Amino acid sequence: MSELENARPLGADPSPQPRTFDFFETLLVALITYAVFLFAAQLTIILSLPAFMNGLSSEQVELLWKQPHRQGAAVIFATPVAIAVLWVAIRRAGREFTEYLALNWPSRDDIVSVLGIMTIFLTVEAFVTIKLGLTRPQTSSGFEVGGATGLIIFAVIICLTAPIVEEFVFRGFMFRGWSQSFLRPIGAILLTSVLWAVLHSQYGWYERSWIFVEGLVLGYFRLRSNSTWLTVVAHSAMNMAVLFLGGPYV
């Protein structure tokens, strides 16, 4: 084959060289992913509102907007949109999506070990909470989810969609980029745990302190196993326990 045939056409873009996102690129992509997730969720709610909404009072509109099953469905629909943002960013960097996020299925022994550790974690958290006298009596008839359909949607969110999107972003994408920057793996575990706890702004400082510790544990799982799916399983198991121990649901 001649040199002329091997020559690249003028103006042609070279294929992207595989690379890892640096610290600020990782943070930017994570913020964009979160912003797109919120936008997609809000847009889903808007599109689901009835056409006759203009004739309703502001109180009625707010009630429709805050319906648990409506917001839950919005989160479910927004989750693949957020994952798509990560996929586009990773592919543009010339990397394989599953490789960059370490989507390696864990072994059975790893899953059993993680479930045992998370059980111990929940037990310790409950013991400390009770000893500190921070348990609170039930102040309402139940946690409002909007009936049986709403409960199913709520279960899907906290046991499936939330663990997947949060672990893909924090222990997958952010950990990968930051662990190979100046932070190194330990710094990446610490910073992702802090940001993950801050993200859960619906809780108080005590609850978020436990979320931070849980983030450290999940970060350790991610580092040891090189499997983000393992942290998804652990996160899902934790949320499933909270679901069954919580309630009653109405």
Distances, alpha carbon 14 to alpha carbons 7, 8, 25, in Å: 12, 9, 21
Q: 22 with 177: CB under 8 angstroms?
A: yes
Separation CA 229–CA 114 (nearest Å):
12
- Find the mean pLDDT for residues 3-8: 45
pLDDT at 221: 95
With pLDDT > 70 as the criterion, what percentage of the chain qualifies? Answer: 80
**Helix (H/G/I), strand (E/B), else coil: 63:** helix
Q: 62 with 54: CB under 8 angstroms?
A: no
Distances, alpha carbon 83 to alpha carbons 29, 117, 145, 166, in Å: 11, 28, 26, 10
Counting other chains too, the contacts that 179-184 makes at CB distance below 8 Å and 24 or more residues apart are 179/223, 180/20, 181/22, 181/23, 181/26, 182/23, 183/23
Q: Copy the structure tokens of residue 211.
A: 């979320």
Is the predicted pLDDT of residue 135 greater than 70, yes or no?
no
Note the pLDDT tens digit of each residue in 184-194: 999 999 999 99
Pick from 183, 26, 14: nearest CA to 100: 26
**Burial class for 64, CB neighbours closer than 10 Å (0-12, 13-18, 19+):** middle
Is the predicted pLDDT of residue 137 greater than 50, yes or no?
no
Of residues 145 and 132, which shows the higher confidence score? 132
pLDDT at 216: 96
What pTM was computed for the model? 0.86
pLDDT band at 181; cut points 50, 70, 90: confident
Is the predicted pLDDT of residue 8 greater than 70, yes or no?
no
**Planar angle of CA 239, 240, 245, nearest 5 degrees:** 95
Separation CA 62–CA 58 (nearest Å):
6
Strand partners, 228: none
pLDDT at 140: 46
Note the pLDDT tens digit of each residue in 52-106: 566 656 665 566 656 677 788 888 999 999 999 999 999 999 999 999 999 999 9
Note the pLDDT tens digit of each residue in 22-48: 999 999 999 999 999 999 988 888 777
pLDDT at 66: 64
Pick from 250, 235, 227, 246: nearest CA to 109: 227
Name the least confident of 5-14, 41-50, 222-231: 5-14
Distance of alpha carbon 200 from the chain centroid: 11
Q: Copy the structure tokens of residue 215.
A: 């983030």
**Secondary structure percentages of the chain, helix, strand, coil, to 5:** 75, 0, 25
Mean pLDDT of the chain: 84
